[in-house]
C-alpha cells in the first residue's frame, strides 16, 4: 500500500509532554514530522483537545509546538502541529534533516506552507 503522507517522518523516541488544559501528560514519541507526531498513549490526552507539546532535547534546548490531538486510543496519540516559534521550527527542521533518509526532501517539503495564517 503506497504511503499517502505529505510530510516525511523520522523515527524518534524522545520523552515529551503533551499539555492539555494546563495538565502535562508524559509520552514517548514514536515518530516526528515537521507537521506532527505519533506518541505513546496517555489517558489524559483525548482526541480533539488543543495542546502544547514540549520536547526537551538538552537542558537549554526545548521545542514547543502548539497542536491539536487528532487521534487518541489505547495504543497511541497523534498530534497535528498548528504552529511553533522560530527556534522550535529550526530545531525540528535540523532534527528531521539529521534523521531523514534524504535530508534534501525535508527542504523540498518546506517549499509548501505547513501552517495556515
pLDDT in tens, the chain (117 residues): 344 445 577 788 999 999 999 999 999 999 999 899 999 999 999 999 999 999 999 999 999 999 999 999 999 999 999 999 999 999 998 888 887 766 666 666 666 655 554
Largest CA distance in the chain: 41
| CATH number assigned to the domain comprising residue 95 | 2.40.10.220
Q: Is 104 helix (H, G, I), strand (E, B) or coil?
A: helix
Q: Are strands 23-33 and 15-20 parallel, antiparallel or unpaired?
A: antiparallel
- Within 12-99, residue ranges assigned H as helices are 86-99
Q: In this predicted structure, what is the pLDDT of residue 5?
A: 45
- Within 1-117, residue ranges assigned H as helices are 86-99, 103-109
Residue span of the structural domain in which 105 resides = 10-109
How many domains does the chain divide into? 1
The answer to whether residue 95 sits within a structural domain is yes
The answer to whether residue 85 sits within a structural domain is yes
Rounded Cα gap, residues 10 and 46, in angstroms = 24
The answer to whether residue 74 sits within a structural domain is yes
Amino acid at each position: 500500500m503506497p504511503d499517502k503522507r505529505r510530510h516525511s517522518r523520522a523515527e524518534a523516541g524522545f520523552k515529551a509532554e503533551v499539555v492539555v488544559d494546563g495538565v502535562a501528560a508524559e509520552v514517548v514519541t514514536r515518530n516526528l514530522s515537521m507537521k506532527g507526531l505519533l506518541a505513546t498513549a496517555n489517558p489524559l490526552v483525548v482526541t480533539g483537545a488543543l495542546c502544547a507539546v514540549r520536547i526537551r532535547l538538552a537542558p537549554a534546548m526545548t521545542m514547543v509546538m502548539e497542536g491539536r490531538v487528532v487521534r487518541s486510543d489505547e495504543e497511541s496519540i497523534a498530534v497535528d502541529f498548528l504552529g511553533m516559534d522560530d527556534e522550535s521550527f529550526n530545531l525540528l527542521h535540523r532534527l528531521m534533516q539529521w534523521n531523514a533518509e534524504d535530508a534534501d526532501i525535508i527542504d523540498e517539503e518546506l517549499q509548501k506552507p505547513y501552517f495556515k495564517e
